[in-house]
Structure 1
Amino acid sequence: MSLEAVLALLTVVGVLAALAATRLAPDVVLMAAVTFLVVSGILSPQDALAGFSNTGVLTIATLYIVAAGLKESGAIQWMARRILGHPTGTRAAQLRLLGPTAAMSAFMNNTAVVAMFIPAVQEWAGRLRIAPSKLMIPLSYAGIVGGTCTLIGTSTNLVVAGMLESQQDVQLAMFDMVWVGVPLVLVGATYLFFFANRLLPDRQGAFEQLEAAREYAVDALVEPGGPLVGRTITAAGLRHLNHGYLAEVHRDGELLAAVSPDTTLYEGDALVFIGAPDCAHELRRIQGLAPAEGDIHKLDIRHSRRRIVEAIVGPDFPALGRTIRESRFRSRYQAVVLSVSRGGERLTGKLGDISFQVGDTLLMEAGDDFVGQYRHRKDFLLVSALNDAAPPNFRKAPLALSILAAMVAASATGLVSILEAALMAALLLLATRCVPIGKARRAIDLTVLIVIAAAFALGAAMTQTGAAQQIAEWLLLADAGSPWLALLIVYALTVIFTEMITNNAAAVLMFPIAVAVAEQLDVSFMPFVIAIMFAASASFMTPLGYQTNLMVLGPGGYRFTDYVRIGAPMSLLTGIVVVGLVPMVWSF
């Protein structure tokens, strides 16, 4: 290998290591790699930035606006109310959920579909008295496999299609993937229908757990010199609270559990109350008690403008690994953490000492503008079951769905390209005020677009320096020249990359390797490229591999092992279907 090939390969390895082992933002890591490739002379500026003009990347940016139009018009909720219905059992509910989710994910971004379905399914599960844990992972998996059926169902398909068009002059049609995607949906739905109820836990989501118990811990201090000093618990009015009870008293480093009503209070006693959210407000009205942390009093928001918000800590949360106290959470977000749930269980102990981790579900008291302010930020993945301050305009839902249908029809019939159809649909949604211009602008996820475009530069470096060809030769040494076995290796390697890094970056990095493998074997590159499309989306075994899996972590009350238990067979079945069917549709 040449020096440039070695540097390109080391750059890719460094990117993979940084994404897998550090908390650096993916767009920062990828752009740093692009900068190195340009400065070192491995790529020209034009080649390094070519991804930003790729039709696949531009189509993804436009489809964000289309998804925003469907969201703001309430189109998904409008359809959900008409489709989900009133099934009589858990399996029937899962079946009702799988079909519509997969179908909708085929025609709009699957992440957007899952995000909009989560609150509807939470409410639906409560009405049917079914544990959310029985429905949330099936919702995510149905969105993943449904998105593989068409060119616009997932951004991965658009990225690979853009690379095919720019590098191999091959154009994919809207429904080319349906021959593998539909069997994949059928196999996945069958597996989930028969085994999801058995493999998934019977567990409430984080918000439902709190709703069922209506309990969290509230710490208070007996004020020195206050009216409660020297009085018994009963005389102080702490015996028969309306919204909670006194569970513990901490005095001079000692714990007084099972507190007697006749216990005398001393100044500085730390009291721990367990109760409903209103317990905090009730305690504030008792003269002589002060909040232990003081954060609720410091929250500069009128009570009439406060609301309970549930949010999931995302991978880009700036205070990962730091405690609530160290993060200055209240000052940064104008919100107070009331409870933290991890792996479906509420964490105990002092809230201020809890360290943030990805996937933590926070129950917060915040202003009524919190949801709108942070919905489009990457700090949190918001899945609050509470009503939004700005409800969707359901009157425009049929119009938004009609525009989506027209976009799909125009592209599928070949009248216009997918990019042109998406641009016209976005313009119509803006013109008909299905989505305000400001919200459409905020809906475009620049982080994802930068990651995808920057990953193109890594792929170009691997191709131009010969690193991709060298990796292909290494793979074929283990493969002994069999196209079927080579296809299996490429598929498995893409799945591993997807679990380590983003699905789009995995697809872009594997694309030149797949083409090089086909050239070494002197066979068509199409089955390898199509296999990458499906493999990059086949992330079922971890909550972090695909964004929809992370989004349902808190609402389903899941633990990491829940994904492994149900996701490993799903991943195996997906691999068998893809590797078995792709060469039959796109022959070697």
Structure 2
Amino acid sequence: MPLDAWISLAVVSAVFPLMAFTRIGPDMVLLGALILLLTLGVIDSGQALGGFSNSGLFTVAFLYVMVASIRETGGIDLIIRHVLGRPRGEGRALARLLLPVAALSGFLNNTPVVATYIPAVLSWSRRLTIPAHRLLMPLSFASILGGTITLFGTSTNLVVHGLLIERYPDLAMGLFDIAWVGVPVAVVGLVYLLLVGRWLLPERRGAQAAFENPREFTIEMEVDPEGPLVDKSVEEAGLRHLQELFLVEIERDGNVVSVVGPGERLKGGDRLVFAGTSAAAVELQQIRGLIPSRHGESSLEKDFKERRLVEAVVSDQCQFVGRRIRDGHFRTLYGAAVLAVCRGGERVLGNLGQVRLQPADVLLLEARPPFIERHRQSRDFLLISQVNGAARPVHEKAWLAWSILLGVVTLATLGVMSLLNAAMLGAALVLVTGCCSVGAAKRGLDTQVLLTIAASFGLGAALESSGAAGTLAGLALGLADGNPWLLLIGTYALVALLTELVTNNAAAVIIFPIVMASAESLGVSPMPFVVAVMFAASASFLTPIGYQTNLMVYGPGGYRFGDYLRVGGLLNLLVAAVALTLIPHFWPF
């Protein structure tokens, strides 16, 4: 094996553990690997940048814009409002939740579907007195299952198809070709979730239960009208740099001053709300001019138009992950104060300023109303509480956004134009018709996913051009003993394992050239292996980190890592059994 092949294998071998076990984003890991391979001369600039010109990548980008238009116009909200209703019993509630989600996910990116559903499901579960944790994990799994129904149900399907037509232009697939396997997989998976999966979920305490009593995580004091703090600024009063507490808001004459700045001047009778530990109350009582609050009702239980209490899930893309709340100047950067942190269904105790944020942490934030609009589609947070004051979607244009998406599907299905052309036309139409603003379109583009996909192409090209893919294919054929069935099963198992640890797009794109080389060496059709890669890359039910929607419901549901293995383990086996049985039937070797 030549030196370039050894270098390619070494780089790819380092990439997977870096993505799985470090906090470095997959896009940065893959771009770093790409730069290293380019510098060492394993690939040239054309191969390194080849992924940025792939049709699958651009199709994904244009579809993100159309999904943003449906979200902006409230298209998903309208469906939620009509389908949830008031079912009798948990089984019927699950059916009303899972079936529409699976159907929507066949045509829209899973992440915005689940993001829009989570606040509605939390409110709905309270109304139906069904614990939220019994609905949220099935919600995520149903969106994953629905994504396997069509070619553009997931970005991975589109990217793998883009690789296929670059290599074999005559093997291009139709939009609904994979539905022959995707529909049975989705049906079996949904039946399992409805009849078996929900009984495997242990009792869990979600974030809402942890945050239900504001008195548990706030301390309220008043400024003595006769004391020395009157007319002093927060900084001068020594309230800016307390050890285990920080000043969140001031209630004054029936109004509230939220996200208090250091120059705010105190008035006699001001009611000060501090976040922190109850043990730290001793520190406040030692400050001359502060007295315990004489009001019975907690200030946080009152409704002020200048203040919003928001629950938000920390994204794995949040720049604060791994940093302490106080050290990172969270309040300065976001204009919001952290009142409490919930992790694994339990409130994080101790000094709040010293808490290092982790992906899927649920934060209770005190913020001004503009915070909601700024972070409604934030990369850092998923807002999950009922956020009063958010900008009202333009529901009047929801039908237009849905019609444009339907038109794109029709044009691509009938072969009038390619999916890329149809998606490009659809993205232009939603912008021209006002269904989506340019700003919303930019926010809708998941740049981390797009960069991950583009960089993965470079690594795949390195494996192929250096001869490493051919060598690995020979090893795979040896292990499979030349049996295409065993090779198919091995391909599915390898991609399914990698997608639980790293991003599904990277797993699929990097493994693709090895699988194609194996099929060519065996002298069989590549199609069953291509479809197996698509389905295996989507079969992410075992961990919360393997798929973004799993991570999104992890905090709000109060789940633990093992809960995904408990419910998703059997689901993974069922999906694999159905897919591997049907794929060779519709795409023979």
Range of TM-score over shorter length: 0.7 to 0.9
- Give the structure 1 partner of residue 410 of structure 2: 409
Looking at structure 2, the residues matched to 164 and 271 of structure 1 have their Cα atoms a distance apart, in angstroms, of: 71
> How far apart are residue 375 of structure 1 and its match?
3.9
1:543-582 aligned at under 5 Å gives the runs 543-582=544-583
Q: Residue 98 of structure 1 corresponds to which residue in structure 2? A: 98
Q: Secondary structure at the match of 1:326?
A: coil
Contact 2:227 2:289 in 1 (8 A): no
Q: Indicate the residue corresponding to 2:336 in structure 1.
A: 335
1:524 aligns to 2:525 (yes or no): yes
Are residue 359 (structure 1) and residue 360 (structure 2) matched?
yes
2-structure distance, mates of 1:272, 1:553: 38
Match of 1:52 in 2: 52
Counterpart position of 2:262: none
Q: Indicate yes or no: 2:117 matched with 1:122.
A: no
Identity fraction in percent:
45
Aligned to 2:150: 150
What are the Cα deviations for residues 105-142 of structure 1, in whole angstroms up to 9, with x where unaligned?
11111222111221222222222221111111111111
CA drift at 1:165: 0.8
Residue by residue over 1:274-312, the C-alpha shift from the partner in whole angstroms, topping out at 9 and shown as x without a partner, is: x99944699xxxxxxxxxxxxxxxxxxxx7433112221
**Structure 1 residue 499: Cα displacement:** 1.3
1:191–1:226 CA distance, 2 compared to 1 (3 A):
farther
Aligned match of 2:131: 131
* Aligned equivalent of 1:108: 108
- Is 2:416 the partner of 1:386? no
Confirm or deny: 8 A CA contact 2:222 2:292 kept in the other structure. no
- Structure 1 pair 438/316, CA: closer, same or farther in 2 (3 Å)? closer
8 Å contact kept, 1:119–1:384: yes
Q: Is the 8 A contact 1:216 1:276 kept in 2?
A: no
Alignment pair present for 1:502 and 2:499: no
Please say if residues 224 and 289 of structure 2, whose CA atoms lie closer than 8 Å, have aligned partners that are also in contact.
no
Give the aligned partner of residue 236 of structure 1: none
Q: Which moved more, 1:510-519 or 1:449-458?
A: 510-519
CA offsets 1:135-158 (integer angstroms, 9 cap, x no match): 111111111010111011110000
* Separation in structure 2 between the aligned mates of residue 172 and residue 369 of structure 1, nearest angstrom: 46
Matched ranges for 1:455-470 at <5 A: 455-470=456-471
Runs (5+) with no aligned partner, structure 1: 230-240, 254-264, 283-302
Over aligned residue pairs, what C-alpha RMSD do you find?
Answer: 3.0
The answer to whether the 8 Å contact 1:248/1:272 transfers is no
Q: SS of the counterpart of 1:339?
A: strand
Instruction: Compute the displacement of 1:222 (Å).
Output: 9.5
Q: How does 1:1-80 map to 2 (within 5 A)?
A: 1-80=1-80
Structure 1 residue 268 displacement after superposition: 8.0
Corresponding residue number in structure 2 for 1:492: 493
1:368-383 aligned at under 5 Å gives the runs 368-383=369-384
Question: Aligned-pair distance for 1:270?
Answer: 11
TM-score by length of 2: 0.86
Structure 1 residue 85, shift from structure 2 partner: 2.3
1:88 corresponds to: 88
C-alpha contact 1:70 1:401 (8 A) present in aligned 2: yes
Query: How far has the Cα of 1:468 moved from its partner?
Result: 1.1
Per the alignment, do residues 367 and 269 of structure 1 end up closer, same or farther by CA in structure 2, a change over 3 Å counting? closer
Task: State the partner residue of 1:141.
Answer: 141
CA 1:135–1:251: 2 relative to 1, 3 Å: closer
After superposition, the Cα gap between the structure-2 partners of 1:330 and 1:272, relative to the gap in structure 1 and judged at 3 Å, is: farther
Q: Is the 8 A contact 1:250 1:270 kept in 2?
A: no
How far apart, CA to CA, are the structure 2 residues paired with 1:355 and 1:490?
A: 38
Q: Structure 2: which 5+ runs fail to align?
A: 230-270
Deviation of 1:216 (Å): 3.5
* Equivalent pair of 2:150/2:176 in contact (CA under 8 Å): yes
Task: Measure, in 1, the Cα distance between the counterparts of 2:193 and 2:165.
Answer: 36
Pair 1:56–1:332, CA change in 2 (3 A): same
Amino acid at match of 1:530: V
Q: Is the 8 A contact 1:251 1:270 kept in 2?
A: no
Q: Name the counterpart of 2:401.
A: 400
**Residue 158 to residue 364, structure 1, CA distance change in 2 (3 Å):** same
Q: Quote the Cα distance in structure 2 between the aligned partners of 1:281 and 1:359.
A: 26
1:576 counterpart SS class: helix
Q: Which stretch shifts more, 214-223 or 401-410?
A: 214-223
Q: Deviations over 1:218-270 (max 9, x none)?
A: 246899998699xxxxxxxxxxx9x99x99566989xxxxxxxxxxx765899
Distance 2:8 2:97 in 1: 45
Summarize the Cα distance change of 1:523–1:251 in structure 2 as closer, same or farther, 3 Å threshold. closer
What letter matches 1:142 in structure 2? A
Deviations 1:68-90 (A, max 9, x none): 11001111111121122221011
Aligned to 2:253: none
Alignment correspondent of 1:540: 541
CA drift at 1:349: 2.0
What is the count of residue pairs matched by the alignment?
Answer: 545
Find the aligned partners of 2:75 and 2:10 in 1 and give their Cα distance. 46
Cα displacement (A) at 1:188 = 0.3
DSSP-derived class of the 1:341 partner: strand
**Cα distance in structure 2, aligned partners of 1:531 and 1:345:** 39
In structure 1, what is the Cα distance between the partners aligned to 2:573 and 2:292?
49
1:314–1:378 Cα contact (<8 Å) kept: yes
Matching residue of 1:587: 588
Deviations 1:392-442 (Å, cap 9, x if unpaired)?
Answer: 111111222122212111111111111111122222212221111221122
Name the amino acid aligned to 2:524. V
User: Cα distance, 1:364 vs. partner?
Assistant: 0.6
Answer yes or no: is the 8 Å Cα contact 1:494–1:536 preserved in 2.
yes
Q: Which moved more, 1:45-54 or 1:470-479?
A: 470-479
Q: Matched residues in 2 for 1:446 and 1:385: separation? A: 27
Secondary structure at the counterpart of residue 163 of structure 1: helix
Distance change in 2, residues 1:458/1:436 (3 Å): same
Counterparts of 2:73 and 2:453 in 1: how far apart (Å)? 28
1:447-483 deviation line (CA, Å, top 9, x unaligned): 2111101100101111111111111222233222221
Identify if the C-alpha distance between structure 1 residues 270 and 343 changes in structure 2 by more than 3 Å, giving closer, same or farther. Answer: farther
Say if 1:113 and 1:435 are closer, same or farther in 2 by CA, change over 3 A.
Answer: same
Q: Deviations over 1:290-339 (max 9, x none)?
A: xxxxxxxxxxxxx7433112221222222333322222211222211001
For 2:87 and 2:573, the matched residues in 1 are separated by 30
Determine the C-alpha separation between the residues in 2 that align with 1:426 and 1:112: 17
- Read off the aligned partner of 2:124 and give its amino acid letter: W
The secondary structure found in structure 2 opposite 1:151 is coil
In 2, the alpha carbon distance for the partners of 1:226 and 1:352 equals 31
1:347 matched residue in structure 2: 348
Of the structure 1 ranges 174-183 and 398-407, higher mean CA displacement relative to structure 2 is found in 398-407
Give the match's secondary structure for 2:162.
helix
Residues 249 and 272 of structure 1 are in contact (CA less than 8 Å); yes or no, is this contact kept in structure 2? no
Q: Which residue of 2 aligns with 1:194?
A: 195
Give the counterpart letter for 1:378 in structure 2.
Answer: R
When residues 410 and 247 of structure 1 are mapped into structure 2, their CA distance, relative to the original with a 3 A threshold, is closer
Q: How far apart are the structure 1 equivalents of 2:279 and 2:50?
A: 64
Inter-CA distance 249–434: structure 2 relative to 1 (3 Å threshold): closer
- By how many angstroms is 1:208 displaced? 5.2
Question: Partner of 1:310: helix, strand, or coil?
Answer: strand
2:74 partner letter: G
